[in-house]
Amino acid sequence: MINFLLGIIVFYIIFRLLITMIIPKITRYSIERYKEKMKKENPELYKNQDRGYTGKIHPALRKYYKKEDNNINNNTK
Specify the pLDDT at position 13: 94
Q: How far apart are CA 10 and CA 4, in angstroms?
A: 10
Instruction: Tell me the DSSP string of 32-48.
Output: HHHHHHHHHH-HHHHTT
Specify the pLDDT at position 69: 47
pLDDT in tens, 52-70: 555 667 777 777 766 654 4
pLDDT in tens, 2-52: 899 999 999 999 999 889 988 899 999 999 999 899 889 888 777 766 665
Q: Is the pTM of this model over 0.85?
A: no
Q: How far apart are CA 13 and CA 7, in angstroms?
A: 10
Using the 8-state DSSP alphabet, how is residue 49 labeled? T
66: buried, middle or exposed (CB in 10 Å: 19+, 13-18, 0-12)? Answer: exposed
